[in-house]
């Protein structure tokens, strides 16, 4: 009999793991256990499906179940929940509908993802409260929007998903309120960046309420009646977008070591502390290259990569994941907002001496049509060593520029090395002094000789 | 009396040098000697001025002469040629109109730029033959286009300037022939990239003739009569775009060491082999980080950077230039075409064992509107060490992606380090597997374990 690899979770990490395992080992028996009815869809696309930017939710699927079954010989068990793990006996307890059974494995990958956090005041019984994480919920919300039954919505949380959803609902003609408990939107950026994003939200008619905490929610049969520290709000529906928690409970109950945010701790081969048990994606806290410790920053690219590494190793291959630097980009109406590494606030919270240098460059030669400003904020140590970067500006001209900083960060560049970087130039695409070089130059001039 | 810095050349490198010198030393007497009537204009913008993408040639100027005179106290002597240098006595021979005089310096920066090469068969007396390097020539050509006196034009050379000019003339309704002596357009790219660009030129009605050498040119008073190895051509005008040679003659006559393409050899402080004489921009062959020797690749960003370094050091400061990796991007109609490091052909010519891995990714999530393909070609050693990259695709989504490879190259990444890079993702701006990561993955799978 062949060895069996079981992957728990059919999301990006899980399907990457299963596919990588198949590449390594043609004989392996590969089973994916998925709690929901779908696998391998791009959950980051849900806001764009809601906005009708994507016509059909089917487009969100990377591959069909048939593709996995027939082409990759991966057996995906849908609507099946893992209730317990016996890591010593290498057996999982599963439940599908009312049926419970056991499944033995030789190697196991946890790719259980993250679950949206519902703040306690929002944990009420109402079909007017949504999260943007599962296709089923998004489909139900989409139907409400199609029926023009949503006039006014409250989004709780001004992070990535909150703001993407604000844009989506605004595009569907909904009056949107964003309530953020912290004193800025995108609170994982530095304040000057948050202010630019705040202005963009206001420009598009979003009602942004900072320092606003929801205290209670009640479904009166026709609306949601919300109370906050800033007064009462009546809306047709509410979106909880305050983040996700790692789906680590089965693994941690079986004894797997957990780190920040209760996410699973893994080594660079995605091994958990349990024998033959790997983990990947939004349920882990991978190594952060700048913090030099595990960090819980659940994002798509690391899910795919750690999935591939976990699957490769679980199938007997050899792959390593170097770690993350926390690179991310989000579209907020006409702005692209991006970050990598640490913010100044994060560096300060870690006790790392840091300086922020901000400069405004342009996306093209100043004389070329369609030139837009780009704000670049570099975070660096007093000796010049790069710690992070943030960028804000219009669309395509900005989004991928953050990757330059991400690579420089990963390579351990200082400000002078960045300043010397040989970056591309042509008037239609860049000014001769790239915005990031302009910021590096400003940082270099500030440093003591 | 104050020390005097003389900068020869008022282009990007020269004005960067003069400005940097002023930042370092407020007392310094700074003189820029410029052979032409203009300083500090973006010559890379000339094709866009010709195309009427830029309304007014005044927009090409980074700063006005008054700005340099009044704000930076830089004395720019226009229409003044340097005819000789006595490096021992630290004196320059100058000529302005019929007047000749001498100018003493304490430190000197050669920023004499490059001069367009005119192939011998094109060196005939005709006002129908142009180069795209000087504003005066471009203004004259612009006037001809405005007067609708150009029906048909021959561009000799299918490199950056040749193709940018082809696009510009086509935009003005001119029938364009591009004659390239080598068997591909953009001959400093690998053939598969050249083929994509060739197809784009054909799609826009450009008559591309490969392996085509001009043998003679004659102005018959109403047209240019050209003979080539592929037959006779009659055109209204001709553009010579076969490259530039380094403007190093005065320096080399004074004994400065020259390297590849007769360009000046400099150290990382932009010192030439002559005492107190620095050089920057298109007249030098700076250190190439991948070739590990001087290379002549005249491009705007290095001109600005080496200018700044030369000026800083010439004024008594301390700055170093790490070197180039030959990063460049060019717009060819609807394609952005970019490179960094070595092509496969260049690596082979250097005797460096190299492999090319090509992959086609997308600029956005596959389900997001406006997603375009990006071809990524990675050049790497058999052991995975990155040697270069080339990219082709539509516009903004591609142009700055090459910079990621440029930084990775500068940092000495191998394919696995690149594959592990934490790059940004959001459906509107990138697929979860960035095109460059897709190519890195393909390269990684090809390597022997």
Tokens of A363: 């996306």
Mean local confidence (pLDDT), A421-432: 95
Nearest Cα neighbor of B332 from B171, B212, B209, B175 is B171
Measured in residues, chain B has a length of 449
pLDDT-derived band of residue A40, with 50, 70 and 90 as boundaries? confident
pLDDT digits 0-9 by tens, A60-100: 998 888 999 999 999 999 999 999 999 999 999 999 999 99
Q: Enumerate residues 6+ apart whose C-beta is below 8 A from B352.
A: B342, B381, B387
* B51 in contact with chain A, both atoms CB, cutoff 8 A: no
- Given a cut of 80, whether residue B447 has pLDDT beyond it is no
Query: Which residue in chain A has the smallest CA separation from B23?
Result: A445
Whole-number mean pLDDT of chain B? 95
CA–CA gap between residue B441 and residue B424 (Å, rounded)? 17
What pLDDT is attached to residue B448? 56
Q: Find tokens 């007997």 and name the residue.
A: A316
Q: Do A424 and B400 touch (CB under 8 A)?
A: yes
What are the boundaries of each domain within chain B?
4-114+244-314, 118-240, 334-443
pLDDT-derived band of residue A447, with 50, 70 and 90 as boundaries? low
Q: Do A59 and B366 touch (CB under 8 A)?
A: yes
CA–CA gap between residue B79 and residue B38 (Å, rounded)? 8
Mean local confidence (pLDDT), B369-393: 96
- Given a cut of 80, whether residue A449 has pLDDT beyond it is no
Tokens of B215: 């043998």
- Given a cut of 90, whether residue A446 has pLDDT beyond it is no
Mean local confidence (pLDDT), B37-50: 92
B120 vs chain A: nearest CA distance in angstroms? 30
Residues B32, B75 contacting (CB under 8 angstroms): yes
* B396 in contact with chain A, both atoms CB, cutoff 8 A: yes
* Beta-ladder partners of B103: B92
Query: Which residue in chain A has the smallest CA separation from B300?
Result: A432
Residues A132, A117 contacting (CB under 8 angstroms): no
CA–CA gap between residue A328 and residue A325 (Å, rounded)? 9
Residues B381, B296 contacting (CB under 8 angstroms): no
User: B-chain residues within 8 Å CB-CB of A423?
Assistant: 301, 327, 403, 406-407
- Pick A365's closest partner by Cβ from B45, B429, B449: B45
A352 vs chain B: nearest CA distance in angstroms? 22
What pLDDT is attached to residue B106? 98
Q: Which of residues 285-324 of A touch B (CB under 8 A)?
A: 289, 299-302, 304-305, 318, 320-324
CA–CA gap between residue B266 and residue B257 (Å, rounded)? 8
CATH 3.40.50.10470 fits A334-446, yes or no: no
User: B-chain residues within 8 Å CB-CB of A332?
Assistant: none
Our measurement of the distance from residue B245's CA atom to the centroid of its chain's CA atoms, rounded to an integer in Å, reads 12
Tokens of A350: 């870690």
Whole-number mean pLDDT of chain A? 95
User: B-chain residues within 8 Å CB-CB of A301?
Assistant: 422-425, 432-434
Region of poorest pLDDT, from A39-43, A183-187, A291-295, A384-388: A39-43
CATH 3.50.50.60 fits B4-114+244-314, yes or no: yes
- Which contacts (CB < 8 Å, 24+ apart) does range A180-183 have? A180/A208, A180/A209, A180/A210, A180/A211, A180/A212, A181/A211, A181/A212, A181/A213, A182/A158, A182/A210, A182/A211, A183/A210, A183/A211
User: A-chain residues within 8 Å CB-CB of B369?
Assistant: 53-54
Nearest Cα neighbor of A62 from A80, A44, A42, A47 is A42
What pLDDT is attached to residue B230? 93
Mutate to test the interface with A, among B53, B367, B440 (most CBs of A within 10 A): B367
Residues A105, A5 contacting (CB under 8 angstroms): yes
What pLDDT is attached to residue B446? 78
Give Rg (Cα) of chain A.
Answer: 23
pLDDT-derived band of residue B245, with 50, 70 and 90 as boundaries? very high
For residue A202, what is the enclosing H or E element?
helix A191-203
Q: What is the 8-class DSSP label of residue A68?
A: I
Nearest Cα neighbor of B153 from B224, B256, B62, B230 is B224
The residue annotated as part of the active site, out of B44, B212, B258, B283, is B44
CA–CA gap between residue A175 and residue A192 (Å, rounded)? 26
Q: Enumerate residues 6+ apart whose C-beta is below 8 A from A416.
A: A384, A440, A444, B320
What is residue B445's three-state secondary structure?
helix
- Given a cut of 80, whether residue B404 has pLDDT beyond it is yes
Residues B284, B270 contacting (CB under 8 angstroms): yes
Mean local confidence (pLDDT), A364-385: 95
Q: Do A434 and B402 touch (CB under 8 A)?
A: no
Count Cβ atoms below 10 Å from residue B232 Cβ, excluding itself: 10
Q: What is the 8-class DSSP label of residue B419?
A: H
Q: Do A422 and B300 touch (CB under 8 A)?
A: no
* Beta-ladder partners of A361: A374
User: A-chain residues within 8 Å CB-CB of B432?
Assistant: 12, 42, 44, 300-301, 304
B383 vs chain A: nearest CA distance in angstroms? 16
**Across the beta sheet with A80-86, what order do the strands follow?**
A80-86, A91-96, A99-104
Region of poorest pLDDT, from A58-67, A212-221, A358-367, A379-388: A58-67
Q: Enumerate residues 6+ apart whose C-beta is below 8 A from B179.
A: B154, B155, B156, B157, B158, B209, B212, B213, B214, B228, B233
Q: Say how many CA atoms lie within 13 Å of B400 toward its Cβ.
A: 27
A24 vs chain B: nearest CA distance in angstroms? 10
What pLDDT is attached to residue B55? 86
User: A-chain residues within 8 Å CB-CB of B366?
Assistant: 59
- B29 conformational bin, left if phi > 0, alpha if psi -120 to 50, beta if neither: beta
- Pick B420's closest partner by Cβ from A321, A340, A396: A321
CA–CA gap between residue A284 and residue A248 (Å, rounded)? 8
Tokens of A381: 């140590």
Q: Do B422 and A44 touch (CB under 8 A)?
A: no
Q: Do A325 and B422 touch (CB under 8 A)?
A: yes
pLDDT-derived band of residue A123, with 50, 70 and 90 as boundaries? very high
Query: Which residue in chain B has the smallest CA separation from A287?
Result: B422
Q: What is the 8-class DSSP label of residue B68?
A: I
Q: Do A322 and B420 touch (CB under 8 A)?
A: yes
Instruction: State the burial class of residue B439 (Cβ atoms within 10 Å of its Cβ: 0-12, 13-18, 19+).
Output: buried
Handedness of CA B351, B353, B359, B363 (dihedral sign): negative
Mean local confidence (pLDDT), A138-151: 94
Q: Do B396 and A401 touch (CB under 8 A)?
A: no
CA–CA gap between residue A225 and residue A90 (Å, rounded)? 49
Q: Which of residues 326-355 of B touch A (CB under 8 A)?
A: 326-331, 336, 338, 340
The residue annotated as part of the active site, out of A44, A212, A258, A283, is A44
Residues B161, B240 contacting (CB under 8 angstroms): no
For residue B212, indicate whether it is catalytic.
Answer: no
User: A-chain residues within 8 Å CB-CB of B331?
Assistant: 426, 428-429
Q: Find tokens 């909880």 and name the residue.
A: A240
Q: Widest CA span of chain B, in angstroms?
A: 71
Our measurement of the distance from residue A305's CA atom to the centroid of its chain's CA atoms, rounded to an integer in Å, reads 13
What pLDDT is attached to residue B149? 87
Q: Do A411 and B406 touch (CB under 8 A)?
A: no
For residue A279, what is the enclosing H or E element?
strand A277-279
The top-level CATH class assigned to B334-443 is: alpha beta
Question: pLDDT > 90: what percent of chain B?
Answer: 93
Q: Enumerate residues 6+ apart whose C-beta is below 8 A from B449.
A: A318
A200 vs chain B: nearest CA distance in angstroms? 17
* A46 in contact with chain B, both atoms CB, cutoff 8 A: no
- Given a cut of 80, whether residue A148 has pLDDT beyond it is yes
Q: What is the 8-class DSSP label of residue B70?
A: I
CA–CA gap between residue A304 and residue B433 (Å, rounded)? 8
CATH number of A118-240, picked from 3.50.50.60, 3.40.50.800, 3.30.360.10, 3.40.50.2020: 3.50.50.60
Q: Do A304 and B433 touch (CB under 8 A)?
A: yes
What pLDDT is attached to residue B397? 80
Count Cβ atoms below 10 Å from residue B238 Cβ, excluding itself: 25
Mean local confidence (pLDDT), B160-187: 98
CA–CA gap between residue B354 and residue B375 (Å, rounded)? 19
Helices (H) and strands (E) in chain B, counts: 13, 27
What pLDDT is attached to residue B434? 93
CA–CA gap between residue B397 and residue B189 (Å, rounded)? 20
What pLDDT is attached to residue A398? 85
pLDDT digits 0-9 by tens, B110-149: 999 999 999 999 999 999 999 999 999 999 999 999 998 8
The pairing of strands A29-33 and A4-8 is parallel
Query: Which residue in chain B has the smallest CA separation from A286?
Result: B422
pLDDT-derived band of residue B42, with 50, 70 and 90 as boundaries? confident
- Pick B304's closest partner by Cβ from A12, A60, A432: A432
CA–CA gap between residue B261 and residue B246 (Å, rounded)? 7
CA–CA gap between residue A132 and residue A69 (Å, rounded)? 28
- Pick B403's closest partner by Cβ from A300, A423, A427: A423
Q: Rounded to the nearest 5 degrees, what angle is found at the Cα of B395, between the Cα atoms of B391 and B398?
A: 35
Give Rg (Cα) of chain B.
Answer: 23
pLDDT digits 0-9 by tens, B291-328: 999 999 999 999 999 999 999 999 999 999 999 999 99
pLDDT-derived band of residue A448, with 50, 70 and 90 as boundaries? low
* A434 in contact with chain B, both atoms CB, cutoff 8 A: yes
CA–CA gap between residue A45 and residue A12 (Å, rounded)? 12
* A366 in contact with chain B, both atoms CB, cutoff 8 A: yes
Q: Which of residues 367-386 of A touch B (CB under 8 A)?
A: 367-369
Instruction: State the burial class of residue B227 (Cβ atoms within 10 Å of its Cβ: 0-12, 13-18, 19+).
Output: middle
Query: Which residue in chain A has the smallest CA separation from B328?
Result: A424
- B400 conformational bin, left if phi > 0, alpha if psi -120 to 50, beta if neither: alpha
């Amino acid at each position: 009999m062949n060895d069996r690899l079981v992957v728990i979770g059919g999301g990006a990490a899980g399907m990457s793991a299963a596919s990588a395992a198949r590449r390594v080992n043609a004989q392996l028996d590969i089973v994916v256990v998925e709690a929901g009815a779908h696998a391998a869809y791009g959950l980051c696309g849900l806001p764009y499906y809601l906005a009708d930017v994507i016509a059909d939710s089917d487009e969100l699927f990377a591959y069909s179940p048939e593709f996995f079954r027939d082409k990759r010989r991966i057996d995906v068990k849908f609507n099946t929940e893992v209730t317990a793990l016996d890591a010593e006996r290498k057996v999982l307890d599963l439940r599908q509908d009312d049926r419970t059974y056991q499944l033995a494995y030789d190697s196991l990958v946890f790719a259980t993802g993250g679950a949206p956090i519902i703040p306690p005041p929002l944990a009420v019984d109402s079909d007017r409260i949504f999260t943007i994480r599962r296709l089923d919920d998004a489909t139900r919300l989409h139907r409400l929007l199609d029926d023009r039954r949503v006039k006014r919505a409250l989004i709780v949380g001004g992070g990535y998903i909150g703001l993407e959803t604000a844009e989506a609902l605004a595009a569907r003609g909904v009056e949107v309120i964003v309530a953020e408990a912290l004193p800025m939107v995108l609170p994982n950026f530095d304040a000057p960046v948050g202010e630019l994003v705040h202005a963009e939200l206001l420009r598009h008619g979003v009602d942004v309420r900072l320092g606003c905490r929801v205290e209670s929610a009640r479904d009166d049969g026709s609306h949601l009646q919300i109370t906050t520290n800033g007064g009462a709000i009546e809306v047709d529906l509410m979106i909880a977008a305050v983040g996700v928690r790692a789906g680590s409970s089965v693994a941690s109950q079986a004894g797997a070591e957990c780190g920040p945010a209760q996410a699973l701790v893994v080594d660079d081969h995605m091994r958990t502390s349990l024998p033959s048990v790997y983990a990947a994606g939004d349920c882990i806290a991978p190594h952060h290259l700048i913090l030099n410790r595990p960090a819980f920053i659940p994002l798509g690219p690391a899910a795919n990569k750690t999935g591939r590494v976990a699957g490769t190793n679980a199938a007997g291959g050899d792959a390593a994941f170097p770690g993350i630097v926390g690179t991310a980009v989000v579209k907020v109406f006409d702005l692209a907002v991006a970050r990598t590494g640490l913010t100044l606030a994060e560096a300060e919270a870690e006790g790392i001496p840091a300086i922020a240098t901000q400069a405004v460059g342009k996306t093209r030669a100043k004389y070329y049509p369609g030139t837009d400003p780009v704000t670049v904020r570099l975070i660096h140590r007093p000796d010049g060593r790069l710690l992070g970067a943030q960028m804000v500006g219009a669309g395509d001209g900005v989004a991928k520029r953050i990757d330059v900083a991400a690579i420089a960060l990963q390579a351990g560049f200082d400000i002078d090395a960045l300043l010397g970087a040989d970056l591309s130039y042509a008037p239609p695409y860049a000014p001769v002094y790239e915005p990031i070089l302009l910021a590096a130059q400003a940082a270099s001039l500030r440093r003591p000789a």
